[in-house]
Amino acid sequence: MKKIGKFFTYVLFFIFALMVFIPKSSLYYLAEVNLKKFDIIISNESLSDSVFTLNIHNLDISAKGIDSAHIASVDVTLCGVYNKIVVEKIKFSSIVEAYFPSKIEFLNIDYSLLHPLSVKLNSHGEFGVIDAAFDLVNLKLEARVKPSKLMLRKYRRSLRYFKKSKNGEYLYAKSI
């Protein structure tokens, strides 16, 4: 019984050490290189590392050479069992404003080993509130949108891809 206890102690210590000493900024730069393959460029950002999180501030994003968005901060938490990305204060360019409200207050993306087959997303902004889940096995996205008055008044055409439910929410389901 003592040997099993020692074994689990060593495994837990190894996992903890891996989470603390993993080069988070190197993972970020690897992701940035992979995004360049899709002509998405992130610039003017500043990185700061802490024990479990990587904090990124003042990101300017351009897609295919067009300035697309500015993000105030991104906090990436990697704990192995529970991983989370929190994006705050997204401001899209005026090009996007024709189809969608330009400000998003926050965007949370969660992945947990307690629910290993799905990624959860929730967001709040000028558009309203979104709660979504992506099924990793069936590659299916399901989203529930509670649109704001601005979204219903000015961006009604964007909601045509959603199905309206009886309680006023809009539902979206798409398999990839």
pLDDT-derived band at 33 (thresholds 50, 70, 90) equals: very high
Tens digits of residue pLDDT in 140-155: 999 999 999 998 888 8
Q: Quick one: 104 exposed, middle or buried, by C-beta within 10 A (0-12, 13-18, 19+)?
A: buried
Contact 52, 78 (CB under 8 A): yes
List the single range of 11-15, 59-63, 105-109, 139-143 with lowest mean pLDDT: 11-15
Q: What is the pTM of this model?
A: 0.83
Share of the chain above pLDDT 70, in %: 100
Report the b/e string of 146-160 with b at 16+ CB within 10 A.
ebbeebeeebeeebe
Tens digits of residue pLDDT in 87-116: 999 999 888 888 888 899 999 999 998 889
Residue whose token pair is 């993306």: 109
* Structure-model confidence comparison of residues 44 and 1, the more confident one: 44
Residue 4 has pLDDT above 90, yes or no: no
**Tally of CB atoms within 10 A around 102:** 17
Residue 11 has pLDDT above 90, yes or no: no
Rounded CA separation 142/132 (Å): 6
